[in-house]
Amino acid sequence: MALPKSMRALALISALLFIYLLFLVYRAPASLHGPADKLQEMTSDPNLDPTNEPEGHLWRKDEYGADNPNAPRINATLLALVRNTEVDGMVQSMRDLERTWNSKFNYPWTFFNDEPFNDEFKRKTQAETKAKCFYELIPKEHWAVPSWINNDLFDESAQILKEQDIQYGNLVSYHQMCRWNSGLFYHHPALANTRYYWRVEPKVRFFCDVDYDVFRYMADRNKTYGFTINLYDAPQSIPTLWPETLKFLAAHPEYESKNNAREWLEDSTRRPEHHIKANGYSTCHFWSNFEIADIEFWRSKAYEDYFEHLDRAGGFFYERWGDAPVHSIALGLFEDASKIHWFRDIGYQHIPYFNCPNSPKCKGCKTGRFTDGEKFLFKEDCRPNWFKFV
């Protein structure tokens, strides 16, 4: 018996839907968030390739004795913002970096705190290095919440950040730290004659022997900034950072570099949800718990004006603007991209992320490892965008 026309139409539609579902199941995915992103957007992870030292002349350890007044050290320091209670974590970081690098070059350590360092902290840290250690107190006016911040509005904003699971968003001290790291640390008198710094935090790891003076490398190659890890930020923590940046650029178009990394900052294809929530910003940034940088960039008029604009906008307290996205946006817009350097040969870990080169100089770091955490963390890797656009 022939089926009614309506039944035949329904059967045809069902068959077409089944074929379409099969197509969706077996086709190559158009967009995956996770480890597959790396395979789609990087033909191979550069950390899997053999890693050598940078090319060209490099300054070696022969003349860098701690007591040699004629050593070729330049005006540079290892820099840490740290509390007395974090001394054991700081000692761990120092021990790693002294073993892999600074015991050969003996650059000084400069520690900053908003409270005076105690004798235990000084004794334990100085015991880890032959280099000089300096213990500096942050001026109260650099650490205090600015007078233009409304405390009631901050409390309301902090509660919203907490409800959105933004880490540390409800802690005043975290906001103060981000602001200080963004635009005030380099105004400290202790750094008045310092040109380069290497930022080091407690409880980080260094895995690879580095046998050349990285500060001399930065100076000789005219590099402004060096990084190891490149990540996405939580867009809920910075919804107005990019709009405020665009306001600043509209007022100061002369500050934008012709050969910058703006595409890296504005990409909307790899994490479109981030781009939407951050109002036009990809949220890609250099993870600034590791940074080797030329302080003169932060002292430049372009950056000082930019920081002043952001500071007055209030986002360091009403949102959770971190120094990582602030530094990264400024570098990506105002600096020539060729002056930003990936230190691929420096093995590094800040939980939960790694930079693990393929080098016989490295121990304890699995080649190519990005994280040893949950699989969803792989989608936070923004290196594919950096390699694509820069």
Cβ neighbours of 103 (radius 10 Å): 16
Question: 76-81 and 109-113: which strand pairing?
Answer: parallel
Taken in order 183, 247, 294, 231, the sign of the CA dihedral is positive
Which residues 6+ apart lie within 8 Å of 21 measured at CB? Answer: none
Q: How many CA atoms lie within 13 A of 328 on its CB side?
A: 30
> Residue 345, Cα to own-chain centre: how many angstroms?
17
CB 317 within 8 A of CB 252: no
- Provide DSSP, 84-103: GGGHHHHHHHHHHHIIIIIH
Q: Which of 98, 128, 291, 319 is catalytic?
A: 291
Structure tokens at 25: 């199941």
**Burial state string for 307-318 with b = 16 or more CB within 10 A and e = fewer than 16:** beebbebbbbbb
Cβ neighbours of 73 (radius 10 Å): 18
Element (H, E) at 318: helix 315-318
Residue with tokens 């002292």: 299
Element (H, E) at 341: strand 340-342
- Concerning whether 374 is annotated as a catalytic residue, the answer is no
Rounded Cα distance, 217 and 222, in Å: 8
Name which of 143, 139, 142, 77 is nearest 111 in CA terms. 77
Active-site annotation, residues: 291
